[in-house]
């Protein structure tokens, strides 16, 4: 069985967008990211300030897409201890899912890069 791939045609409708969505060649503002994530930078910073230094490390690594075992090994902690740090970080950030935690942490990273 051979695999075949089909090329996608470029989206020609993006040039005349009027719905506020950014096209591939435009920039995205922090305000637009805040609207998409339904989280302001200031609210995110308030929540992030609740974390201990270790919880910040764990949250940052989670937001970077690292797996639990990898995080535990890099921080030289047991997987059970990591579970406790993850649970505490998610509770303090009011994040119901790891994706929500990653969105919040990455929003703050983007805001820092933008100087906001």
Tell me what pLDDT residue 93 has.
Answer: 95
Residue 8 within any structural domain of the chain: no
Tell me what pLDDT residue 21 has.
Answer: 53
Residue 5 within any structural domain of the chain: no
Residue 21 within any structural domain of the chain: no
Q: Where are the beta strands (DSSP E) in 53-100?
A: none
Which residue range is the domain that position 59 belongs to? 29-114
What token pair was written down for 67? 């797996």
- Based on the structure, what is the number of domains in the chain? 1
The single residue listed with the structure tokens 């409708």 is 13
Residue 75 within any structural domain of the chain: yes
Residue 14 within any structural domain of the chain: no
59-98 residues labelled b (16+ CB within 10 A) or e (exposed): bbbbbeeeeeeebbeeeebeeeebeebbebbbebbebeeb
Tell me what pLDDT residue 2 has.
Answer: 47
What token pair was written down for 81? 């201890």
Tell me what pLDDT residue 65 has.
Answer: 95
Residue 11 within any structural domain of the chain: no
Per-10-residue mean pLDDT, the chain, length 116:
51 48 69 81 92 97 96 97 97 95 93 83
114: left (phi over 0), alpha (psi -120 to 50) or beta: alpha
Tell me what pLDDT residue 32 has.
Answer: 82
Tell me what pLDDT residue 31 has.
Answer: 85
The single residue listed with the structure tokens 């998409």 is 36
Residue 54 within any structural domain of the chain: yes
The CATH number of whichever domain residue 93 belongs to comes to 1.10.10.10
Residue 24 within any structural domain of the chain: no
């Amino acid at each position: 069985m051979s695999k075949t791939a089909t090329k996608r045609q470029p989206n020609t409708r993006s040039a005349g967008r009027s719905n506020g969505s950014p096209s591939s060649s435009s920039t995205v503002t922090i305000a637009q990211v805040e609207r998409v994530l339904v989280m302001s930078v200031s609210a995110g910073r308030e929540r992030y300030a609740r974390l201990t230094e270790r919880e910040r490390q764990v949250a940052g690594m989670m937001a970077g897409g690292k797996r639990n075992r990898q995080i535990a090994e890099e921080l030289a902690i047991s997987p059970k201890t990591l579970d406790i740090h993850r649970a505490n970080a998610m509770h303090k950030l009011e994040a119901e899912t790891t994706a929500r935690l990653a969105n919040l942490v990455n929003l703050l990273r983007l805001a820092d890069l933008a100087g906001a």
